[in-house]
Amino acid sequence: MLVPFDTPTLVKAQLDARLEETVALVPWSRRTGIVSLTLELSQLPGFVPVLADPHFSFSHAEREDLRAGYGSTVEWQGFGPDRLADLRARALALKREWLQLDPDDTGMEPFALAGFAAASVSTDADGLPEALLWLPEVAVRRRRGQAVLVFSTCLPADQDACLRRWRSWLDRLVPGLCRSAPGPLNPGPLRSLEDRPDRAGWIEAVEAALAAIAEGTLEKVVLARRQRVQGRRTFDLERLGAALTYLFPSCQVIRLQREGQCLVAATPERLLAQRGTWAEVDAIAGTAGRAAGSARDLALGEALRSSPKELREHALVTDALRAALTPVSHRVEAQDGPSLLRLNNAQHLWTHIRAELQPGMDALALADLLHPTPATNGAPCAAAQAWLAQAEPWGRGWYTGAAGWLERDLSGEFWVLLRCAEIQGDHALLHAGAGIVAGSDPAGEWGETEAKLAAMLTALQFA
């Protein structure tokens, strides 16, 4: 059984020695391609550090799953309506030239980050392009009782120069991997700098959406708020990630850091997971709060499961996902009626969908097919997008976009970027939204967004 890291010097010495033993396996003079060298870690990292270099991480406490990447071996960006198709073409080319070396027989694949903004319009508010495919130079992966480091480089490469870079990464990474997650700081106040729209503006927007629904233009539209706050200190990204992991163990905690800015999310919503011929998709829509008393909490959940308005909103999402999957699947399966997905601060209606895919489908193709769902955009999709372009005069950036990972065969997972904050120094820009359907109450939907914002605001106070 693996145990947490104890001695950074020993761990680094072991990895240095293993690199020395396996470096001859790398075809350094190969004329083209990329190689990834996977080495098993003898001890488990419980934490991945924040470094000044570009990096990303995905951490899911309940699944005991962790992935992180540092630096860049190669990356591609996509723009415009064909951004995901362009990245998929790059990924298919990468697949053909990506060599994996696994001398320790770990069976754990190297991976690249793939992600994209909510819409195919220019956005640099969060330091991220419209779409991104990013293969890190060094990656960390933990899966329950197993962990590895993955070193990657483009070929051809100079062996000595590459080894110096990889060992430099070890110098910086290993001390952080050996640490436990930092504890919270004393809570600090947050000063509100922007709340857009304000309560009056929100009510006006919801009423306009309800009018469009009554006219038959829309069935549903998801309105968003943005809130900018300032802390009394520079936000500590390591503590923020640790706080979100503690507060929301059933969520995927995501961190993307580039060009001095950082996007952080604690999202409950998986857009898709695909491996081989099977895909899993989560339909999440319909929200209620939580209560301290168990009886009251159960009553809130049962009221959510029996609410015609919430069930109608949920059915729009489930039906749209099934309709999107059907043309590319041999069969699509969904549970009878939604279950409850319970988080610390909210509970949602949730339907798990499985699809047996036709040949030629992969995670990136599915993401392009499924996004945006009615859970974050509305229905019908095109009408909701056009309506939001007028109703929301600001870009969402990567909020309600998606991020995840791709392996060499283009299997992977994507998570919808919800409960987000864009962090720069002591400033944070938060987003939250609510789905509007016939019967929605403006004040109630405002309360839903307040609860969603509170998830990140609480964590920020302790960071």
Report whether 71 contacts 138 (CB < 8 A): yes
Whether 341 contacts 350, CB under 8 Å? yes
Sort strands 98-101 and 34-40 into parallel, antiparallel or unpaired.
Answer: parallel
Active-site annotation holds for 220? yes
> Tokens for 159?
């062996």
Which residue bears the tokens 């990204």? 237
User: DSSP letter at 50?
Assistant: -
CA dihedral 384, 390, 396, 399 (to 10 degrees): -20
Backbone angles phi, psi at 380, to 5 degrees: -60, 150
Place of tokens 């809570």: 187
Determine the Cα–Cα distance for residues 258 and 390; give it in Å rounded to an integer.
Answer: 30
Q: Residue 134 and residue 120: Cα distance in Å, rounded?
A: 18
Rg value, the chain, Cα: 22
Q: Which amino acid is at 163?
A: L
* Rounded Cα gap, residues 432 and 453, in angstroms: 6
Contacts (Cβ under 8 Å, ≥6 apart) of 441: none
How many angstroms separate the CA atoms of 249 and 38, rounded? Answer: 28
Tokens describing residue 12: 């680094």
Contact, 249 vs 208, CB < 8 A? no
Report the C-alpha gap between 49 and 237 in whole angstroms: 9
Known active-site residue 269: yes
User: DSSP states of 350-366 as a string?
Assistant: EEEEEEEEPTT--HHHH
Instruction: Please enumerate in sequence order all residues whose Cβ is within 8 A of that of 18, keeping only pairs 6 or more positions apart, or say none.
Output: 39
Cα-Cα-Cα-Cα torsion 363, 365, 367, 372, nearest 10 degrees, comes to -170
* Residue of 109, 219, 220, 452 with catalytic role: 220
Pairwise CA distance, residues 390 & 409, whole Å? 40
Q: Name the DSSP class of 186.
A: P
* DSSP class per residue in 442-458: HHHHHHHHHHHHHHHHH
Helix then strand then coil, in percent of the chain rounded to 5, is 35, 35, 35
Marked catalytic residue, from 109, 137, 219, 269: 269
Q: What residues are annotated to the active site?
A: 220, 269
